[in-house]
Chains A and B, each alone.
Chain A
Amino acid sequence: MIWIIISVVLGVVMITMSVISIHHKKITIAILSAGGVSLIASILYLLMAAPDVALTEAAIGSGLTTFIFFYVLNKIKKQKHVKE
């Protein structure tokens, strides 16, 4: 029962974060929230007896992806600077 409540909470948080990441004006917040969704998803995977997936999601989904996002964003921002 407790796991169900936890999973519901996790689910609600994930949905909220994904709404934020889609609708928030600031792109950095959006990227971070998307990473957060991934991270919480990996907790959910743990609950569903999938440690392998959890590890992968944490390392790749929330870690590397977010990182590449920021790298590109950074790059784009710099270009904007160059232009102005």
Chain B
Amino acid sequence: MQNIGIEQISLAVGFILLLLGIWGMISQKNILKIIVSFTIFETGINVILVAIGYIRNKTAPILDSPELQTDTAEKIVDPLPQALVLTSIVIGLGVTALLLVYALKMYKQKKTLLINDYKDTKW
């Protein structure tokens, strides 16, 4: 138990979310549900990223107190993955918004949200 830390739990949670997201995407028929699953997939990836940057018993990489400003490397968690997650979240928003607009437009065309009904281009 001593060896288990938040980062490992988060990592596990992240992977499970990611898998659940993929599961949702390949099993749900409703386009909106697929998009919901996609956001869960993305959240999973973000959790994994943050977990990778975490180091036990260290503080956030914000040097607002003077004691943090010396030997900083010993005291903070990795700021880089956090920066990556910021980017990832914003990209996720863009993609999700676009997917939703697609869904809206698709619905407008055929008045159905079932992905099985959109098989116009095939073979």
Chain A contact residues, CB within 8 Å of chain B = 3-4, 7-8, 10-11, 14-15, 18-19, 21-22, 27, 30-31, 34, 37-38, 41, 44-45, 47-53, 56-57, 60-61, 64-65, 68-69, 72-73, 75-76, 79-80, 83
Contacts and interface: CB of A to CB of B under 8 A. Distances in A.
A10 B74 CA distance: 28
What bracket does the count of chain B residues touching chain A fall in?
Answer: 35 or more
Contacts of B32: 27, 30-31, 69, 72-73, 76
- Looking at chain B's contact residues, the main secondary structure is helix
A21 B24 CA distance: 9
Contacts, number: 149
Given A4-B6, A22-B36, A49 B58 contact: yes
Contact of A22 (B28, B90, B92): B28
B60 interface: yes
B100 A15 contact: no
B9 interface: yes
Interface string B29-41: 0101101110110
Contacts of A34: 36, 39-40
A79 B109 CA distance: 11
Nearest to A77: B107
